[in-house]
Amino acid sequence: MTDSLPATLPLPTPNAESRAFWDACADGRLTFARCTACGSVQFPPQKSCTACGGVTGEASEASGQGTVFTYTINHRAPGPAFAARAPYVIALVDLAEGPRLMMNVINCAPEDVTIGMTVRITFEQRGEMALPQAEPV
C-alpha cells in the first residue's frame, strides 16, 4: 500500500517566486506581476515572462472582478478533507486583468453557477494562509 489520504485541506506552499502573491492574499489583496519588458501579466507568478523571457516587476492590485469561463460540480473528492465539502464547484475564472485562476465558487448554491457568470474575489482563511475564491457579485 502506498499514499495516505490527506485528512486536512491542502495549503499552497509558497516559494521564492510566489511568496509576494501569497503575502498579498493574506492582506486581502489579489495582485499580479507584469513583465517589465513587454507588460504581460504573469500568472502563476514567476520571475521570467512566458511571453518574452523578460523579468517581471512589482505586482499591482487586481480589480477582483471576473467571469466564469467553465466549471464543474465535483462529487468525487480527492480525499476525506474535500469529501466533507462535496459536492463543490471548481471553476476557471477569467479576471479582468487577463489571468485565468482556478477557484471554488462559494457563497451560492452549486446549481446557480453558470458559464459567463460574473464573480468577484473573496478570500478563504485556511490555516495561516488566505486563498482567493470566487463568489457571485
Residue whose CB is less far from other proteins, 3 or 58: 3
Q: Total residues contacting other proteins (rule CB under 8 A)?
A: 42
Residue 23-62 contact track with other proteins, rule CB under 8 A, x = bound: --------------------xx------------------
Q: Is 73 in the site for other proteins (CB under 8 A)?
A: yes
Backbone angles phi, psi at 17, to 5 degrees: -90, -20
- For residue 31, CA distances in Å to 23, 59, 99 come to 10, 6, 11
Cα(5)–Cα(18) distance, integer angstroms: 26
Q: Is 58 strand, coil or helix?
A: strand
Q: Are 129 and 22 in contact (CB under 8 A)?
A: yes
Instruction: Considering only the stretches 11-19, 31-39, 55-63, report the one whose residues sit in contact with other proteins under the rule CB under 8 A.
Output: 11-19
- For residue 103, CA distances in Å to 8, 15, 54, 56, 130 come to 18, 20, 28, 24, 12
Residue 84-123 contact track with other proteins, rule CB under 8 A, x = bound: -x-xx-xxx-------xxxxx----------x--------
The residues binding other proteins (CB under 8 A) are: 1-6, 9-14, 18, 22, 43-44, 69-79, 82, 85, 87-88, 90-92, 100-104, 115, 126, 131
